[in-house]
């Protein structure tokens, strides 16, 4: 295999890089919690079409799928259950609807109510 050519910097190029100790501090990304109260989040309990298995479906969070995945991940890790987020819904295994509602309220969603069965 051919070796990669080594890039060498002359003094001017090295000085242009600057001192990393004097670099401006990077700001940490703040979690998105503002404006989550505007959503009408409904937590549904379903068994139909799932072979008798219980599932809790969270609907009404109109955010990108990446945000839904983060919310889903937090709930799954707190409760130790399985689930996924796709098509604007979060589907969680089991029947822990009351605990899920409490976790959603902790995350900043204020208008969370149970719906269905």
110 is a domain residue: yes
Number of domains in the chain: 1
pLDDT single digits (tens) 105-114: 988 888 888 8
One-character DSSP codes across the chain: -PPPPPP---HHHHHHH--GGGSPPPPPPPP--TTGGGS-EEEEEE-TTTTT--EEEEE---S-HHHHHHHHHHHHHHHT--EEEETTEEEEESS-HHHHHHHHHHTT---EEEE--
pLDDT band at 8 (very low <50, low <70, confident <90, very high): confident
86 is a domain residue: yes
80 is a domain residue: yes
29 is a domain residue: no
The least confident of 14-18, 28-32, 39-43, 55-59 is 28-32
The pLDDT value recorded for residue 83 is 92
pTM for the full predicted model: 0.67
The pLDDT value recorded for residue 37 is 66
pLDDT single digits (tens) 78-88: 999 999 998 88
């Amino acid at each position: 295999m051919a070796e990669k050519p080594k890039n060498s910097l002359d003094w001017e190029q090295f000085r242009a890089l600057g001192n990393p100790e004097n670099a401006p501090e990077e700001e940490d990304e703040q979690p998105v919690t503002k404006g989550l109260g505007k959503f009408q989040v409904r937590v549904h309990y379903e068994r139909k079409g799932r072979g008798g298995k219980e599932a809790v479906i969270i609907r009404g969070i109109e955010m990108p799928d990446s945000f839904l995945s983060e919310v889903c991940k937090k709930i799954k890790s707190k409760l130790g259950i399985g689930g996924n987020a796709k098509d604007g819904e979060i589907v969680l295994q089991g029947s822990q609807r009351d605990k899920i509602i409490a976790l959603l309220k902790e995350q900043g969603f204020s208008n969370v109510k149970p719906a269905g069965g």
